Structure 1
Amino acid sequence: MRWSAFAVLALCLALGMGGGAAQAAELPTYTLTFKAGGQFEPARLEVPAGKFKLILVNESNEPVEFESLPLRKEKVLGPGVKSFVVITVSRPGEYPFFDDFHQDTKGTLVVTGK
């Protein structure tokens, strides 16, 4: 059987993408929900140091944006949209975040030791 260069490339890409998805699924996972009026649930989220997946759920009727300047992460979600970001934090501490569309509401990601 002869493999074309295209078939080999497609197979390599498929295997590479599948491995990344499996790796992301195995990460510790936490959920942050955006409520109406720019509120977060929970407003203070505690996680251990390391790499983790943060699921973002927008239950409001307007767009929201998860943004954290110290973590250098941002993600915009339309109304009713669910998405995620992968974050790696090695230093324990408190890392603020906010909804860029509702800047008066602040939240805190509290990173504890491993």
Structure 2
Amino acid sequence: MTRISRILPALFVLACAPALAVADETIPTITLTDGVVSPQQIDLPADTAVTLTVSNTGKTAAEFESKRLRIEKIIAPGQTETIELRALPAGSYPFVEEFHEDQDTAKGTIVVK
């Protein structure tokens, strides 16, 4: 076995390490279930773009809406959508499951620190 053939597998593992680290990170998820938002608060880092997952586990359609973020997304029952959030400054960004917005359980906040 040549020296190069022994080094190549190690180099491959090192080259893949950043990709493996990214795959292990968890994507923040909000679940909407017939007027119940869970969790009602998500903390995100400031000045960092984030992908947010919103799942509707309820029996009826749901609408994720944040007027401050200018986002409206209707999600069918049993479906999951991703929302790309731009890098946000520190602050609170309220959201609601609009089809049930009269319920306290349908409201939440994204807190950026």
Alignment TM-score, normalising by the size of structure 1: 0.70
Counterpart residue number, 2:37: 40
What letter corresponds to residue 56 of structure 2 in structure 1? N
1:51-83 CA-to-partner distances (Å, cap 9, x unmatched) read 000101100000001000010111100111111
Structure 1: state its 5+ residue gaps: 1-24
Q: How far is the alpha carbon of 1:35 from its aligned partner?
A: 1.7
The structure that is strand-richer by fraction is 1
Structure exhibiting the larger radius of gyration computed from Cα positions: 2
What letter corresponds to residue 92 of structure 2 in structure 1? E
Counterpart residue number, 2:78: 80
Q: How far is the alpha carbon of 1:48 from its aligned partner?
A: 0.6
Q: Are 1:89 and 1:111, in contact at CA under 8 Å, matched by a contact in 2?
A: no
What secondary structure is seen at the aligned counterpart in 1 of 2:78? coil
- The aligned length equals 87
Q: How far is the alpha carbon of 1:89 from its aligned partner?
A: 3.6
1:27-59 CA-to-partner distances (Å, cap 9, x unmatched) read 9721101123x1111001111122000101100
Q: Aligned partners of 1:47 and 1:79: how far apart in 2? A: 26
Quick one: percent identity of the two aligned structures?
34
